[in-house]
């Protein structure tokens, strides 16, 4: 029997390498049975035989030979006189097998089949891609930068599939060049215009979690568990870890000898500061640890409202709050508590100070509230910070800060 070569006849078949053989055979069978139904009204007496390795396909028609004049179903039966024209040795009652030539369907039908096949293969590839990356959400992958745009970066994986790294999922100081290999975590798989879009991320906490898993064998082996990760990408991250083995120091294991394990991660995250702390169910101790590198003097907890008043020495205020308030924000995210930082004036009775609320007739209430947000509730707690620090950590204008400092300094000069 003659056969048709699908690889040459149907170009889209070439793109089907990742589709398993049984699925491909089923698709081809369906496509050609549709052609048969259109031409003959039924596909019941036809066999579609597919050889995916060679790209060969045969369509065989099967009919039973009956006496002349006895044909009741032309699709299933053939008259004896017609059968012996094909092969003289045939007898009544035998089955006649006859190949259907692809050309018999006509040029338009063949083109339609080609389009249908391409469409079905395209759908299979999409489903295969969705499954492949749907199963890998949360995993780190390496991909090559193919195109850099303003709002996103297009990458290609080892199979040539397109992946997207949006600007919002990039570390602020990330800079990529075409051809460069970068690592990111698979965040999600979306469908846009009926096509799968694989979204990667370098800012998601799971990216840091997987980097730690790679660098710290104890995490990979399950001896150390990451309880929670919070990040301000490119600036600071806090990782709470717990060990299931009393002999293992989880913080020491994650950091490594002289920081050997954590250094590689810090470089990957563009010098993001990583605070690794011991997880505890003691919320007071957890809050204390979460405000690292600041040292806390004392604390008032309201567990019902999930708030904490934290008191630190004057020189520790800026450390506790952190650059642009990042440290205290991450501590709140890690603990689930709203944290207010105050200067601890215990032992400083002789150091005269004034509550900011006392200046409400000279300083606008919203300005006082803005200062309280960064832990400054007294005049001296504001004056201990430089003008540059106040500009950086609040939304106040330079002129407002200058005027504010004049008012506060004048009060102490009166004394």
pLDDT 10s digit of each residue in the chain, 415 long?
333 444 444 444 544 555 666 777 777 778 888 888 888 888 888 888 776 566 567 788 888 888 888 888 888 888 888 888 888 888 888 888 888 777 777 778 777 777 777 777 778 788 888 888 989 999 999 999 999 999 999 999 988 889 999 999 999 999 999 999 999 999 999 888 888 999 999 999 999 999 999 999 999 999 999 999 999 999 999 999 999 888 899 999 999 998 899 999 999 999 999 999 999 999 999 999 999 889 888 899 999 999 999 998 888 888 899 888 999 999 999 999 999 998 876 544 445 677 888 888 888 888 888 888 887 888 888 888 888 888 888 888 889 999 988 888 887 775 4
Residues 67, 71, 77, 79: what is their CA dihedral angle, to the nearest 10 degrees? 40
Q: pLDDT by residue (tens digit) across 175-189? A: 999 999 999 999 999
Q: pLDDT by residue (tens digit) across 135-164? A: 999 999 999 999 999 999 999 998 888 999
Angle between helical axes of 21-40 and 107-134 (0-180°, round to 10): 150
Residue 224 and residue 217 in contact, taking contact as beta carbons nearer than 8 Å: no
Look at residue 183 and give its three-state secondary structure: strand
- Tell me which residue of 157, 125, 126, 131 sits closest to 13, measured CA to CA: 125
- Tell me which residue of 223, 233, 240, 322 sits closest to 283, measured CA to CA: 240
CB atoms within 10 A of CB 366: 10
Residue 58 and residue 99 in contact, taking contact as beta carbons nearer than 8 Å: yes
pLDDT for res 11: 41
Q: Could you give the strand order of the β-sheet that contains 298-302, starting from the edge strand earlier in sequence?
A: 298-302, 307-312, 338-343
In terms of Cβ atoms closer than 10 Å to its own Cβ (0-12, 13-18, 19+), residue 397 is exposed
φ, ψ for residue 374, nearest 5 deg: -100, 15
List the Cα angle 327/328/333 in 5-degree steps.
100
- Tell me which residue of 175, 203, 186 sits closest to 139, measured CA to CA: 186
Contacting residues for 22 by C-beta, under 8 A, at least 6 apart: none
Please tell me the distance from the alpha carbon of residue 207 to that of residue 227, in angstroms, as a whole number.
15
pTM for the model stands at: 0.64
How many residues can be counted in the chain?
415
């Amino acid at each position: 029997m003659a056969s048709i070569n699908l690889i040459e006849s149907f170009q889209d078949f070439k793109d089907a390498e990742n589709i398993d053989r049984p699925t491909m055979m089923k698709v081809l069978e369906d496509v050609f049975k549709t052609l048969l139904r259109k031409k003959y009204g039924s596909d019941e007496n036809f066999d579609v035989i597919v050889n995916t390795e060679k790209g060969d396909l045969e369509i065989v028609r099967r009919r039973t030979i009956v006496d002349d004049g006895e044909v009741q179903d032309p699709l299933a039966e053939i008259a004896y006189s017609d059968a012996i024209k094909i092969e003289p040795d045939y007898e009544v009652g035998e089955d006649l097998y006859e190949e259907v030539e692809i050309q018999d369907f006509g040029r338009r039908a063949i083109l339609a089949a080609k389009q249908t096949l391409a469409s079905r293969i395209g759908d299979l590839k999409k489903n295969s891609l969705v499954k492949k990356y749907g199963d890998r959400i949360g995993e780190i992958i390496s991909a090559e930068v193919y195109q850099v745009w303003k709002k996103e970066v297009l990458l290609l994986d080892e199979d040539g599939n397109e992946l997207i790294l949006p600007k919002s999922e990039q570390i602020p100081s990330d800079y990529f060049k075409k051809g460069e290999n970068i690592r990111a975590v698979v965040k999600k798989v979306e469908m846009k215009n009926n096509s799968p879009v694989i979204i990667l991320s370098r800012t998601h906490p799971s990216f840091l979690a997987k980097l730690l898993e790679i660098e710290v064998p104890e995490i990979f082996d399950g001896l150390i568990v990451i309880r929670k990760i919070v990040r301000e990408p490119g600036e600071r991250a806090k990782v709470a870890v717990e060990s299931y083995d009393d002999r293992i120091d989880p913080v020491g294991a994650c950091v490594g000898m002289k920081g050997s394990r954590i250094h590689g991660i810090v470089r990957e995250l563009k010098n993001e500061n990583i605070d690794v702390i011991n997880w505890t169910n003691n919320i007071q101790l957890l809050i204390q640890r979460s405000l690292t590198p600041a040292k806390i003097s004392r604390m008032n907890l309201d567990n019902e409202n999930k708030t904490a008043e934290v008191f630190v020495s004057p020189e520790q205020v800026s450390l506790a709050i952190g650059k642009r308030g990042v440290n205290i924000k991450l501590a709140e995210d890690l603990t689930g508590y709203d944290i207010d930082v105050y200067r601890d004036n215990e032992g400083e009775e002789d150091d005269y100070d004034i509550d900011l609320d006392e200046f409400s007739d000279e300083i606008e209430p919203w300005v006082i509230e803005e200062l309280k947000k960064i832990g400054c509730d007294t005049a001296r707690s504001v004056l201990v910070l430089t003008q540059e620090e106040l500009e950086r950590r609040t939304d106040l204008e330079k002129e407002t800060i200058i005027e504010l400092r004049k008012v506060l300094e004048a009060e102490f000069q009166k004394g």
